[in-house]
């Protein structure tokens, strides 16, 4: 690229309308910051969103963009990427948008695997509609629509993605600036659908939902950063995780356990990745929650297969000829 762009070049003239203190601001800032580093011309970048607070995102990105309808960003992006494989397509969605009304399209996106980046802002609440429980709200969560506590069992977004054969599954958090930046860059690098769940604080309707993972006090004990080839260690290096057969266990590194005995993260191993996503399920078991790239694998992209079939058809039948198509195989002449 001839001109060097900065984060500012990716901001629009529109007023950002999120509530003061909303986690969305931090994510917007990171995304605008990494954009110039991608080395992709601004006109080749497209942000597509559904409906929700988070889905306002495209209005603030000085790229091409569409703020569409509730839950459908994923299918719109699939169509766009199929029509224009050379574009860099980003999907911004929320836990309601992506996992509730748009859940069907999300899992189908994963199985098709077009090369798009999904950023799911998970705030465990419906923000835009002012505070009802969402598909990621925990059981018992008291919200406007669940005064006695939610009785719906929540989705585990990353396990859901694994179950739908997603090829890139990662987690980060709004307040974790450095980690988030790294995850955004990794998402972009992945060739295929990347799924990045971003814990996002909705300070108005669900404040502090992730305090445990992002706050100073809880973070060391509840957050586990996974890195390919590195042992699973947390609690300021004092604790680790070993695999006891098929069962993960938390161990104290002070007890003379070697780092080499620990579970070494292999992001290409689907079985272990699935176990990592499952650490979500039982907070009382004392497991930290894994952040980072849990899983990443290469699989053919939908748009490549689609274009491949077109090229193949052309190689055997030749470029389509409209006149012979209109005539078909059986004609007769009336004189």
Partner 1 sequence: MTPQELSKVTILFSGDSGDGIQLTGSEFSHTAALYGNDLSTFPDFPAEIRAPIGTVAGVSGFRLNFGSIEIHTPGGHVDVLVVMNAAALKKNIEDLRPNGLIIANSSGFDKRNLKLAGYDESATPLDDLRDSHRILELDVTKLTRESLKESSLGTKERDRSKNMFVLGFLYWIYGRSLERTTQFLTEKFAKRPEIAQANIAVLKAGYHYGETTEASLPRYVVKPAPQKPGVYRNISGNQATALGLVAASQKSGLDLFYGSYPITPASDILHELAKHKNFGVKTFQAEDEIAAITAAIGASFGGAMGVTASSGPGIALKGEAIGLAVMLELPLVIVNVQRGGPSTGLPTKTEQADLFQAMYGRNGEAPLPVFAAKSPSDAFDAAFEAAKYAIEYMTPVMLLSDGYIANGSEPWMFPTSGELSAIHPVKANLSEQPYLPYKRNERGVRSWAIPGQKDGEHRIGGLEKEIDTGNVSYDARNHEAMVKIRAERIEKLAESYPPLEMEEGEAEGDVLVIGWGSTYGAVKVAARDLNRDGFAVSHLHLRHLYPLHPELGHVISRFKKVVVPELNNGQLVKILREKYLVDAIPYNKIQGQPLKADEVHEALMNTIRSIVKNEKA
Ligand X SMILES: Cc1ncc(C[n+]2csc(CCOP(=O)(O)OP(=O)(O)O)c2C)c(N)n1
Residues that bind ligand SF4 (CB under 6 A): 18-19, 22, 24, 53, 123, 127, 202-205
Radius of gyration of the chain (CA): 23
Residue from 32, 61, 30, 296 nearest 178 by CA: 30
Nearer to partner 1 by Cβ, of 68 and 206: the residue is 68
Nearer to partner 1 by Cβ, of 217 and 333: the residue is 333
Nearer to ligand SF4 by Cβ, of 5 and 101: the residue is 101
52 contacts ligand X (rule: CB under 6 A): yes
Nearer to ligand X by Cβ, of 51 and 80: the residue is 51
273 contacts partner 1 (rule: CB under 8 A): no
Q: Which does 189 bind (CB under 5 to 8 A by kind): ligand X, ligand SF4, partner 1, none?
A: none
Nearer to partner 1 by Cβ, of 148 and 326: the residue is 326
Beta-carbon contacts of residue 154 (< 8 Å; ≥ 6 apart):
124, 135, 136, 137, 138, 139
Nearer to partner 1 by Cβ, of 178 and 335: the residue is 335
Q: Which stretch binds partner 1 (CB under 8 A): 23-31, 188-196, 285-293, 325-333?
A: 325-333
DSSP 47-62: EEE-SSSGGGGGGGBS
39 contacts partner 1 (rule: CB under 8 A): no
DSSP 210-226: THHHHSTTTHHHHEEEE
Contact track, ligand X, 76-95, x by CB under 6 A: ------------------xx
Among 28, 87, 159, 198, binds partner 1 (CB under 8 A): 87
Tokens 């059986």 belong to residue = 330
126 contacts ligand X (rule: CB under 6 A): yes
The angle that helices 177-189 and 24-34 make with each other, rounded to 10 degrees, is 50
CA atoms within 13 A on the CB side of 219: 11
Euclidean distance between CA atoms 135 and 35, whole angstroms: 30
Q: Which does 22 bind (CB under 5 to 8 A by kind): ligand SF4, ligand X, partner 1, none?
A: ligand SF4
Beta-carbon contacts of residue 328 (< 8 Å; ≥ 6 apart):
none
Q: How far is the CB of 275 from partner 1 (least distance, A)?
A: 28
CA 266 to chain centre: 19
Q: How far is the CB of 173 from partner 1 (least distance, A)?
A: 27
User: Could you tell me if 210 and 133 are in contact, meaning their C-beta atoms sit under 8 angstroms apart?
Assistant: no
Among 35, 53, 158, 169, binds ligand X (CB under 6 A): 53
Among 30, 63, 88, 123, binds ligand X (CB under 6 A): 123
128 contacts ligand X (rule: CB under 6 A): yes
118 contacts ligand X (rule: CB under 6 A): no
∠292-294-296 over CA atoms, to 5°?
Answer: 110
Q: In the range 129-158, which residues lie near ligand X by CB under 6 A?
A: 129, 134
319 contacts partner 1 (rule: CB under 8 A): yes
Residue from 214, 216, 250, 256 nearest 233 by CA: 250
Task: Produce one character per residue of 153-180: b if its CB has 16 or more CB atoms within 10 Å, e if not.
Answer: ebbbbbbbbbebebbbbbbbbbbbeebb
Query: Contact positions toward partner 1, by CB under 8 A?
Result: 12, 14, 41-48, 51, 58-59, 61-69, 72, 75-84, 86-87, 104-105, 108, 306, 309-310, 312-314, 317-320, 322-323, 325-328, 330-335
Query: Contact positions toward ligand X, by CB under 6 A?
Result: 51-54, 70, 94-97, 121, 123, 125-129, 134
């Amino acid at each position: 690229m001839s001109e060097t762009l900065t984060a500012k070049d990716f901001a629009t003239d529109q007023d950002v309308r999120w509530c003061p203190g909303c986690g969305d601001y931090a994510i917007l800032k990171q995304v605008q910051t990494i954009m110039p580093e991608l080395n992709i011309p601004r006109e080749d970048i497209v942000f597509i969103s559904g409906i929700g607070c988070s889905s306002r995102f495209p209005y603030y990105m000085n790229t091409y963009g569409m703020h569409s309808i509730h839950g459908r960003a994923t299918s719109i992006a699939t169509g766009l990427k199929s029509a224009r494989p050379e574009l860099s397509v980003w999907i911004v969605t929320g836990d309601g948008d992506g996992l509730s009304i748009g859940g069907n399209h999300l899992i189908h996106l994963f199985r098709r695997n077009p090369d798009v980046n999904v950023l799911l802002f998970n705030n465990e609440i419906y923000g835009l509609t002012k505070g009802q429980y969402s598909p990621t709200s925990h059981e018992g969560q008291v919200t406007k629509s669940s005064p006695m506590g939610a009785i719906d069992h929540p989705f585990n977004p990353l396990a859901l993605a694994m179950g739908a054969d997603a090829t890139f599954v990662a987690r980060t958090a709004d307040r974790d600036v450095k980690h988030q930046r790294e995850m955004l860059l990794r998402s972009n690098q992945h060739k295929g659908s990347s799924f990045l769940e971003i814990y996002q604080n909705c300070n108005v309707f669900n404040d502090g939902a992730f305090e445990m993972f992002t706050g100073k006090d809880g973070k060391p004990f509840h957050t586990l950063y996974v890195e390919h080839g590195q042992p699973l260690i947390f609690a300021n290096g004092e604790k680790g995780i070993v695999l006891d057969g098929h069962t993960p266990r938390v161990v104290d590194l002070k007890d003379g356990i070697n780092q080499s005995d620990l579970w070494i993260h292999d992001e290409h191993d689907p079985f272990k990745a699935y176990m990592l996503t499952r650490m979500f399920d039982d907070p009382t078991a004392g497991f930290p929650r894994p952040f980072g790239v849990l899983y990443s694998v290469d699989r053919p992209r939908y748009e490549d297969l689609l274009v491949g079939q077109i090229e193949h058809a052309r190689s055997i039948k030749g470029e389509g000829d409209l006149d012979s198509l209109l005539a078909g195989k059986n004609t007769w002449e009336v004189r």
